[in-house]
Amino acid sequence: MSSPVLRLVLLAALAAPALAADPTYTYVDLGTLGGPSSVAMGLNDAGQVVGWSSIPGCTVNGHPCRRAFLWENGVMTDLGLLSGDEESVARAINASGLVVGTSESDVIFGSGTFHGFRWDGAMTALPDLGSGQSFVHDVNSAGVIAGWAQDPAVSRDRAVSWTGGVITNVGASEPHQSSRATGINEAGQLVGFAWNLFSPNDAVLYDGGWVTIGGIDGPWQNAEAKDLNDNGVAVGLQAFPSGNWHAAVWTTNPPGAIDLGVLPGHELGELYDVNPSGLAVGRSYDDTNPNDSRAVLFDGERLVDLNSLLPAGVNVLLYEAREINDHGDVVGTAIVNGELRAFLMEAQDDPWQDLGLGLAGVSGVPSLAGTGSLITGEAFELSLTNTVPSSTAFLIMGLARIDVAFKGGVLVPAFEAPLGLFLPLATDATGGVTISDTWPGGLPAGTELFLQYWMSDASGVKGFAASNALVAWVP
């Protein structure tokens, strides 16, 4: 049956100042290529992951050799390295599976010789500006690659892009002495950072011409843009009046940087990637102890510790999150038994989540199930079974969860007026009732709706029974 009352209550939720709901995830340990450690750096919408893994039987400058990998459907593949180099790191992958990164030698504490590469079945060196040094950060769906190369004409780093294997020195027109491109969107816009000698970094944007977008609000204000989405929203880090750099978002309307702060107990933070929905990932960490680091998700309103969203029973520390795809899946690095380990957090697509907490009656625990995408105009169904036949069941719905003891069970939804629902519905001869309708438009994305049925039942504790509770998450 269709329920006009339920539809009215759903529409009333439009006025509610609901916080965005945090997504739920499954956790995947991506493993290694045989060595003790691995780090995930990039992810596409097909779920392919790239990064680096240590390999057995090889050390460079006292540390295990790193080797670029591609992970797909549970299999990690060694992508090799360029001739003459010692290590490699895959840093990004686009929709068609093109992998980009660096093949490296003599790397100590982040310094060494870097050669940009592309991999589409075989690793190929990208051209540089003549110095033999280049670094790749990102690639878009068109195969345009963003990074930097050392310009021998000025002996400084320059932001560059590669298209079809041809390098373009886009940083030559950037007014700072040095520049690096770290992110690119589908429109070909670049972001990164630039600096003058003995001066802090400024966040910059290239869209046919260069604009300084961050680090200009005060003296010695370090700022670096790491990525931008197709709406022109950039993310990275910026030093704010506190003096420490925090996770930052730059928008064009209004223009300027937004200080997202850090997690409690930390001083520093940064974001590495942002998806088309504006969800971004990065890390928050301690100024004096960089190992005290936690992966974070910016959900559009606040920073969330991704560790708080780990599935029950997963005992790892999520150290940093590097990329988030259009589906909301996240990759990064966890610490497992003292070692770095690449992870994939897959966002659950089902908008309905069973919270349990039912109370048994004459036919056991009444069962409540929801189906449908909860997308505007599409059909959804809410079905109750296993309750008292030909009686009355009360559907309770709210925009918050209270979990209070009630009649021997647990009442889950908060149903305060005017946005709560307490709807009596008649059960059929089998002890069931079904609501079928189309999902109304306008409900804010991220809204959570908590639902549960309660009914009189002489076989239940204190004469009542209750269904399991559901939470419905509006995409």
| Per-residue tokens: 136 | 């790749």
Q: Are residues 36 and 117 in the same domain?
A: yes
Q: For 399-425, how does the pLDDT look when each residue is reduced to its tens digit (9 = 90+)?
A: 888 889 999 999 999 876 545 578 899
CATH code where residue 419 lies: 2.60.40
Of all residues in the chain, what percent carry a pLDDT higher than 70?
91
Q: Are residues 329 and 355 in the same domain?
A: no
Q: Worst-scoring range by mean pLDDT, 47-56, 138-147, 174-183, 349-358?
A: 349-358
| 1 pLDDT more than 50 | yes
Q: Are residues 331 and 423 in the same domain?
A: no
Q: Are residues 185 and 252 in the same domain?
A: yes
Among 300, 325, 347, residue at a domain's last position? 347
Please report the pLDDT score of residue 226 as a whole number. Answer: 98
Q: Are residues 274 and 307 in the same domain?
A: yes
Does the pTM surpass 0.85? The reply is no
Please report the pLDDT score of residue 4 as a whole number. Answer: 52
Of all residues in the chain, what percent carry a pLDDT higher than 90?
71
Can you give the residue range of the structural domain that contains 10?
4-18+351-473
- Band of the pLDDT at 239, cuts 50, 70, 90? very high
| 2 pLDDT more than 60 | no
Number of domains in the chain: 2
Among 327, 347, 367, residue at a domain's last position? 347
| 264 pLDDT more than 70 | yes
- Band of the pLDDT at 368, cuts 50, 70, 90? very high
Residue 308 phi/psi, 5° resolution? Answer: -75, -10
Q: How many CB atoms lie within 10 A of CB 173?
A: 13
Please report the pLDDT score of residue 115 as a whole number. Answer: 97
Q: For 293-338, how does the pLDDT look when each residue is reduced to its tens digit (9 = 90+)?
A: 999 999 888 999 999 999 888 999 999 999 999 989 999 999 999 9
Q: Are residues 343 and 358 in the same domain?
A: no
Between 384 and 448, where is the model more confident? Answer: 384
Q: Worst-scoring range by mean pLDDT, 24-28, 56-60, 331-335, 442-446?
A: 442-446
Q: Are residues 138 and 218 in the same domain?
A: yes
Q: How many CB atoms lie within 10 A of CB 315?
A: 7
Q: Are residues 332 and 379 in the same domain?
A: no
Q: Are residues 152 and 216 in the same domain?
A: yes
CATH code where residue 114 lies: 2.120.10.30
∠ CA(264), CA(246), CA(323), 5° rounding? 95
Q: Are residues 343 and 359 in the same domain?
A: no
Mean pLDDT in residue range 32-49? 97
Please report the pLDDT score of residue 14 as a whole number. Answer: 42
Q: Worst-scoring range by mean pLDDT, 293-297, 349-353, 393-397, 439-443?
A: 439-443
Q: Are residues 356 and 259 in the same domain?
A: no
Q: 404: which residues sit within 8 A by CB, 6+ positions away?
A: 410, 411
Among 347, 374, 390, residue at a domain's last position? 347
| 219 pLDDT more than 70 | no
Mean pLDDT, all residues of the chain = 90
Strands of 111-119's sheet in order across = 87-93, 99-108, 111-119, 123-125
Q: For 133-187, how does the pLDDT look when each residue is reduced to its tens digit (9 = 90+)?
A: 999 999 999 999 999 999 999 999 999 999 999 999 999 999 999 999 999 999 9
Q: Are residues 307 and 408 in the same domain?
A: no
Answer for the pair 138, 182: CB distance below 8 angstroms, yes or no: yes
Answer for the pair 71, 50: CB distance below 8 angstroms, yes or no: yes
Answer for the pair 106, 113: CB distance below 8 angstroms, yes or no: yes
Mean pLDDT in residue range 336-346? 96
Please report the pLDDT score of residue 233 as a whole number. Answer: 94
